[in-house]
Amino acid sequence: MSPKIKNPLPPGNYFFEGNQACAEAAIAAGCRFFAGYPISPSSEIMERLSWRLPEVGGVFIQMEDEIASISAVIGAVWAGARAMTATSGPGLSLMLENIGYAIITETPCVIVDVQRAGPSTGQATRPYDGDIMQVKWGSSGDYQVIALAPWSVQEVYDLTIRAFNLAELYRVPVFVMSDAALAHLREDCRIPEGVDIVGRTKAKGVPHFGTEGPVGVPPMASFGEEEGLIITGSTHDKSGYRKTQDPNIQKDLVDRLNEKVLSNAKEIIQTEEHFLKGAEIVVVAYGLVARAALAAVKEARLGGINVGLLRLKTLWPFPKEEIRALRARRIIVPELNRGQLVREVERVTKVEVVYVNRVDGEVMGPGEILEAIKKQ
Amino acid sequence: MEATWKKHLRKETLPLPFCPGCGHGILLGAILRAIDASGIDIKDMLFVSGIGCAGWIPSPHIKADTMHVTHGRPIAFATGAKLFNPRLKVMVVSGDGDLASIGGNHLIHAARRDIDMVVVCANNEIYGMTGGQVSPTTGLGVKTTTTLAGNVEPPLDLCRLVEAAGASYVARSTVFHLEHLIGILKKALGHKGFSFIDALSPCPVQYGRRNLYASPAEQLKDLEKRCVPLEKARSMTQEVLKGRIVIGEFVCRGEH
């Protein structure tokens, strides 16, 4: 951890909507470059950063599309920036190509995905958990990303900061999974005195694309540091040279890109337990839906039902050990989709898994989760 | 004695991967000669390139920071790097398919922003690496693997495109006109703003042999024959100029 950097916004309590909290968190986390393209319901992040970044000596640019936005972010990161973009499902679809590039070149960056109802243009201003699988599997090949799911405006702030640190620690794109409702929900947001920032690991003359061990994270130089960086989206050796035919280099690279995240899953994954001890029924939820789930769980417990909540703050890498450890007879997974993360839950547990879904673009209330809890 | 510009090559990456007769090696030499003659410290330079044969011109052969990116996107990556670190001297080298087709939007907007970088289009008028398909700069009637009976789509004049978009330095040359090419590259390197160089570079393997050139040398000579200097072209009619390549400096505005 590097010394605490001065937070440009005075500490205190602010009444922020999710998108504002996200922009301020980025600045507090040392983000000094943002490139983006307008898209509902994420645009307020970009609008705020368009004037806030210049205030703190950062750079803002509105690019010609989302493909260019993520490209500019990656270019800026290699020029030395901590950088971010924000978008929604359809924009994310355009970014996927270069998210793959960020993965193979091990470029730390933060992508805020303010999800909305899809497919395609769908309902641009309605909330949805539509991109849970898109962020994990959308680009080609095998890879791991990190995805964090806040459930409050405060957590949008906290997890955006964490996203920057995780990106640096593992040299990987990190997603903050917000949605149309959280983006525009106004709540108290406490801005602390300062935040811990993970700096970029530098080591002169050391290869930037490989490590001695099979799961390590190499140091990272920036342009202009006389390191003669060779960066490519093709398969490459530790020094960056293209190796497009060598099977061993292909295998070692793909394995390391995956294992550097998976082998650190314990450090990355955060969950929150509510009434889990001895719970016969467990609701597994994330994002804003988890708030409805907690209300439903409390209500059910008043009625004598032994039910608990496991809230996932990290979606990827998937908290499979935490799910596996649940000693319940039934797991309920409410989501604002037809069932995305629930399939991961099913994959890792032998317990009966119940889907609770909402796809009409409305937020989920406690009622429908309570109904599922009560059903015998 | 070794020519001084050769010190900018990573010797371990030689020989170059290009086919015999390809113009891209000549273009690489021209770029390095121009840098050498400009007195720019290559350590301050960043080379960004896209997908295709031309993407391999700087990466990994030039001993500087190189970034070989996704298809069509080098200008967008370069924009981010340049904006965050304006001290970087940024050059994009990529092909006609990369810059004019899949990356056309980024080319237009970088020119509109007049962002300080040099974009060199290694224009071989074809998709070389993927097997010789028609590109946006392929001439009418030219045979490619996707236009067996001859291309029916008119080619895009990239110089006119970026000029209209707002580029402040625009020039065209070919690898045949080596001294001229080095001259405009030098000028582009000294220019503050968006510089675009359309550098014609023949592809004997994918283009030449399908269009009945006897040898790479014949193709190169034909390239010379097709070229008309801008000064001369000014007094020629559009009819006469049809199918010809106008070379020279089209826009030269602002600081140098």
For chain A, give the mean pLDDT.
96
A251's CB contacts (< 8 A; 6+ apart) are none
Q: How many CB atoms lie within 10 A of CB B125?
A: 26
The position carrying tokens 């050796």 is: A237
Q: Tens digit of pLDDT for each residue in B109-142?
A: 999 999 999 999 999 999 999 999 999 999 999 9
Q: Residue B118 carries which side chain, given as an amino acid letter?
A: V
Question: How large is the average pLDDT for residues A101-117?
Answer: 98
Are the beta carbons of A181 and A194 closer than 8 angstroms?
Answer: no
CATH code: domain of residue A302 = 3.40.50.920
Residue A153: closest CA among A25, A335, A297: A25
B226's CB contacts (< 8 A; 6+ apart) are B243, B244, B245
Question: How large is the average pLDDT for residues B221-231?
Answer: 96
Q: Tens digit of pLDDT for each residue in B180-208?
A: 999 999 999 999 999 999 999 999 999 99
Question: How large is the average pLDDT for residues B23-51?
Answer: 97
SS (H, E, C) B46-66: EEEECCCHHHHCCCCCECCEE
Are the beta carbons of B46 and B117 closer than 8 angstroms?
Answer: no
Residue B23: closest CA among B220, B227, B156: B220
The verdict on A144 and A20 lying in the same domain is yes
For residue A262, tell me if it sits in a domain.
Answer: no
Question: How large is the average pLDDT for residues B158-174?
Answer: 98
Q: Residue B217 carries which side chain, given as an amino acid letter?
A: A
Contact A71 B76 (CB under 8 A): yes
Alpha helices in B119-229 (DSSP H): 158-165, 178-190, 216-226
Alpha helices in chain A (DSSP H): 18-28, 43-55, 66-78, 89-104, 132-137, 153-170, 180-184, 247-262, 265-268, 289-302, 320-324, 341-348, 366-374
What is the domain count for chain A?
A: 2
Contact B60 A68 (CB under 8 A): no
Helix (H) or strand (E) holding B92: strand B89-95
Mutate to test the interface with B, among A230, A237, A241, A242 (most CBs of B within 10 A): A230
Residue among A76, A80, A232 minimizing CB distance to B68: A232
Residue A337: closest CA among A80, A58, A127: A127
Any B CB within 8 A of A226 CB: yes
B132-to-B111, B135, B138, B208 alpha-carbon distances in Å: 28, 9, 11, 10
Give chain B positions within 8 Å (CB) of A222: 85
Any B CB within 8 A of A35 CB: yes
Closest chain B C-alpha to A272 CA, distance in angstroms:
38
Between CA B254 and CA A235 the distance in angstroms is 42
Q: What is the pTM of this model?
A: 0.97
Confidence of residue A118 (pLDDT cuts 50, 70, 90): very high
Q: Tens digit of pLDDT for each residue in A300-358?
A: 999 999 999 999 999 999 999 999 999 999 999 999 999 999 999 999 999 999 999 99
The position carrying tokens 């994420």 is: A42
Contact B69 A71 (CB under 8 A): yes
Residue among B44, B65, B80 minimizing CB distance to A76: B80
Confidence of residue A7 (pLDDT cuts 50, 70, 90): low
Higher pLDDT pick, B72 / A195:
B72
Q: Tens digit of pLDDT for each residue in A36-79?
A: 999 999 999 999 999 999 999 999 999 999 999 999 999 999 99
CATH code: domain of residue A149 = 3.40.50.970
Is cis: bond before A119, omega within 30 of 0?
yes
The verdict on A96 and A14 lying in the same domain is yes
Residue among A98, A100, A229 minimizing CB distance to B66: A229
Residue B225 backbone phi and psi in degrees, to 5: -60, -35
Contact B64 A101 (CB under 8 A): no
Give chain A positions within 8 Å (CB) of B59: 230, 232, 242
Contact A71 B83 (CB under 8 A): no
Domain boundary pick from A197, A214, A238: A197
The position carrying tokens 């001229």 is: B180
Domain boundary pick from A197, A224, A255: A197
Higher pLDDT pick, A9 / B91:
B91
Residue among A80, A227, A232 minimizing CB distance to B59: A232
Structural tokens at position A295: 């209300």
For residue A215, tell me if it sits in a domain.
Answer: no
Between CA A113 and CA B254 the distance in angstroms is 41
Query: Is the pLDDT reported for residue B255 higher than 70?
Result: no
B104-113 vs A66-78: helix crossing angle, rounded to 10:
70
Burial class of residue A129 (count of CB atoms within 10 Å of its CB; 0-12, 13-18, 19+): buried
Supply the ipTM of this predicted assembly: 0.97
**CB-defined contacts A:B, below 8 A:** 126
Domain boundary pick from A164, A197, A230: A197
How much is the pLDDT for B140? 96
How much is the pLDDT for B256? 65
Q: Tens digit of pLDDT for each residue in A169-193?
A: 999 999 999 999 999 999 999 999 8
How much is the pLDDT for A3? 41
The verdict on A84 and A185 lying in the same domain is yes
DSSP A281-337: EEEEE-TTHHHHHHHHHHHHHHTT--EEEEEESEEES--HHHHHT---SEEEEEESS
C-alpha angle with apex A349: A348 to A350, nearest 5 degrees?
A: 135
Confidence of residue A2 (pLDDT cuts 50, 70, 90): very low
Residue B118: closest CA among B25, B38, B186, B182: B186
Between CA A169 and CA A260 the distance in angstroms is 10
How much is the pLDDT for A8? 75
Between CA A195 and CA A158 the distance in angstroms is 9
The verdict on A10 and A152 lying in the same domain is yes
Confidence of residue B2 (pLDDT cuts 50, 70, 90): confident
Could you say which architecture CATH assigns to the domain B4-252? 3-Layer(aba) Sandwich (3.40)
Residue among A68, A76, A77 minimizing CB distance to B83: A76
| Domain hosting residue A357, numbered range | 270-374
Structural tokens at position A352: 């009966």
Question: How large is the average pLDDT for residues A289-300?
Answer: 98
Helix (H) or strand (E) holding B31: helix B24-38
Is cis: bond before B15, omega within 30 of 0?
yes
Q: Tens digit of pLDDT for each residue in A127-149?
A: 999 999 999 999 999 999 999 99
Helix (H) or strand (E) holding A6: strand A2-6
How much is the pLDDT for B3? 86
Question: How large is the average pLDDT for residues A82-93?
Answer: 98
Domain residue extents for chain B: 4-252
